[in-house]
Amino acid sequence: MKKFTLSATVAASLALFAGAATAQVTDALVVEGTTISTSAPAADWLDIDQVLSGWSFRTVETRALQMDDFDNPGMIFVDQAIDDWSTVDGTEGKSCSSCHTDGPEEFAGLRAELPRWDEAQGKMMNMEDYINLSRVEHMGAEPWKWAKPRMDAMVALISLQSRGMTINVAIDGPVADAWEQGREIYYTRVGQLDMSCANCHEDNYGNMIRADHLSQGQINGFPTYRLKNAKLNSTHARFSGCMKNIRAEPFAVGSEEFRALELYVASRGNGLSAEGPSVRN
Amino acid sequence: MKNSMLLAVCASVATFATVAVGEVGPNDVVFTDTGAVEGSLTGVAGDPANGAMVFKNRKKGNCLACHQNSDMSDQQFHGEIGPSLDGAGANWNEAELRGLLTNSKNTFDGTMMPAFYVDSGFFRVMGKFDGRTNLTAQEVEDVLAYVQTLTE
């Protein structure tokens, strides 16, 4: 019953989305009683005044899908991750729940800080790194591939615990070099169409590029459920897609370059709320 | 039999070559100080009908991605990145238009508009597009002929 209602809603919105008018809004997004800031003053090192969530740029119909968890198709994948949470795997005979006995709620706030430097690991870690660290070292299980369904779903489940919390990614100290590398990638023009992330997401957000209403390309909403491919999409998969669109050879998912870019783009969204899994077109 | 095989091979080689005989290669285009290109890139008159096709085709010029064009009001989505091209055929002369279609960076410093007849100097170009121009020389001439019809 639940599944049926969900897919009916998606079908209806898909039909509407093609012709719907777009507008940039700064309305409050309230989901299940939690207020999600979709705009915030930009950091002083940014060339823009205000940072805006990608939600603000979507159609009325797409925005509505994210206002109720019952309508948000991303929640189907969260449910799948809840199953995985207590699924025993690996040589140690453990599941996530064997160690994290308080449930995924234990991770409230984590998503808002990632990627971050981890002193114990001696490197910068993002959500996929933490999930695989536990799978390999604590469960004795195979690491999950990035940008694949089980990984993206678990990232969604853990991100959800931080929903509404303010993105606050550190950019100094041991991650300063990675941040600098990410910034350089963001502003470097690549591909046969010779464009940078900034050309579309800094210089032209709010403008239409053919049928697409350009947002600021923020990642506070990741993973995103996209109506276009009807699944969760990770940050690295999205970066890859944008690079292919400008006929550039994307960096590999999980690469040094995309990790640096993830840190930099995440920090551009400092002040927004974590809202994953969000809904986009 | 042998001859026709040979012909078939020649024909397929010709379609894969970036520059056909009699064309100005992407590295041989001469720009004026203001970024204009005086002579035809091919010596063959541009075909405005094909130019209109290239203009709207998302895999070709995709000019509509960035430009509004009232002459194509039958097309659903027009971009807002660059200026409207209504009247562009009157505002710019032929050499100026050829220049800004070949490599708009010589006309507008640092512009986001892609260069349509440049095949090198880019970073991280995806394999199948590497070393290739976005449009062929004749497609540039065709789009040029089409834009010249946009006089109001």
| Position B2 pLDDT exceeds 90 | no
Q: Residue A242 catalytic? A: yes
**pLDDT higher at A158 or B152:** A158
Residue pair A125/A115 in contact (Cβ under 8 Å)? The answer is yes
Of the two residues A168 and B6, the one the predictor is more confident about is: A168
Residue A47 sits in the same domain as residue A183: yes
Asked if B62 has any chain A CB less than 8 Å from its own CB, the reply is yes
For chain A, say whether B82 makes contact (Cβ under 8 Å): no
ipTM score of the complex? 0.91
* Angle, alpha carbons A122-A125-A128 (nearest 5°): 140
- pLDDT in the model for residue A110: 98
Polymer length in residues for chain B: 152
Asked if pLDDT for residue B6 goes beyond 80, the answer is no
**Would the CB atoms of A209 and B123 count as touching at under 8 Å?**
no
Contacting residues of A for B59, CB less than 8 Å apart: none
A155 lies in the same domain as A169:
no
Structure tokens at B21: 């005989």
Range of the domain at A169: 8-71+165-280
Indicate if A109 and A40 belong to the same structural domain: no
A194 touching B, CB under 8 A?
Answer: yes
Task: Answer positive or negative: Cα dihedral of A18, A19, A23, A29.
Answer: negative
- Quick one: A139 and A112 in the same domain? yes
Q: CA A99, A103, A104, A109 torsion: positive or negative? A: negative
Contact between chains at B123 and A189 (C-beta distance less than 8 A): yes
Q: Is there a contact between B123 and A188 if contact means CB atoms under 8 Å apart?
A: yes
* pLDDT, mean of residues A82-96: 97
Within 10 Å of residue B24's Cβ, how many Cβ atoms?
18
Range A208-223 average pLDDT: 97
Whether residues A273 and A183 fall in one domain: yes
**CATH assignment of the domain containing A183:** 1.10.760.10
Domain boundary among A109, A136, A160: A160
Q: Is the pLDDT of residue A3 over 50?
A: no
Does the residue A120 lie in any domain? Answer: yes
> Considering only alpha carbons, which residue of chain B is nearest residue A188?
B123
CB contact under 8 A, A209 and B66: yes
pLDDT at B22: 84
- Read off the pLDDT band of B21 (50, 70, 90): confident
Q: Identify whether A23 is part of a domain.
A: yes
**Mean pLDDT, chain B, as a whole number?**
90
pLDDT tens-digit map of A103-147: 999 999 999 999 999 999 999 999 999 999 999 999 999 999 999
CA A212 to chain centre: 19
Look up tokens 């100290």; give the residue: A173
Q: Report yes or no: A36 at the B interface, CB cutoff 8 Å.
A: no
Farthest CA pair distance, chain B: 55
- pLDDT, tens digit, for every residue of A29-55? 999 889 999 999 999 999 999 999 999
* Residues 6 or more apart whose Cβ sits within 8 Å of residue A17: A59, A61, A62, A227, A281
d(CA A176, CA A267): 12
| Contact residues, chain A, for B114 at CB < 8 Å | 192-195
* Statement: residue B9 has pLDDT above 80: no
A274 and A190, same domain (yes or no): yes
In a domain, residue A63? The reply is yes
Interface touch B134/A210, C-beta < 8 Å: no
Domains in chain A: how many in total? 2
b/e string for A144-161 if b means 16 or more Cβ within 10 A? Answer: bebbeeebbbbbbbbbbb
Q: Is B122 on the interface with A (CB under 8 A)?
A: yes
Q: Which of A150-159, B5-14, B37-46 has the lowest mean pLDDT?
A: B5-14
Which residue on chain A is closest to B61 by alpha carbon? A193
Q: State the average pLDDT over residues A203-217.
A: 97
